[in-house]
Amino acid sequence: MEDKIVAVKYYETVIEAEVDMNVLDANNIQCTLNPDTMVGLYPIFNDKERGMKLMVFEADLEKAVQLLESYHASAVTE
């Protein structure tokens, strides 16, 4: 049985995506960017259908979402 790969989040820049990839990697969740990186090369393509997608195995989706939400909530300073 194959594990399904699903999108966790969409990004407009490679840098934003790489930050979240590092968070997931540090928590032992395998992830990758989808091969469609047009938005990184051509910012005019920044709609969600053509943007970069951070992909994880479906079994890790819920944990990945929680980790990213927690990371970004703690990263906000004020």
pLDDT given for residue 75 in this prediction = 77
Domain range enclosing 17: 5-75
Q: Which residue has the higher pLDDT, 78 or 23?
A: 23
pTM equals 0.77
Domain count across the chain: 1
Nearest Cα to Cα of residue 57 among 65, 49, 69: 65
DSSP for the chain, please give it: -PPPEEEEEEESSHHHHHHHHHHHHHTT--EEE-S--HHHH-TT--STTTSEEEEEEGGGHHHHHHHHHHHHHHH---
pLDDT given for residue 4 in this prediction = 93
What pLDDT, in 10s, does the model give residues 11-65? 888 889 999 999 999 999 999 988 655 545 555 554 545 568 999 999 999 999 9
Residue 78 pLDDT greater than 60, yes or no: no
pLDDT given for residue 3 in this prediction = 86
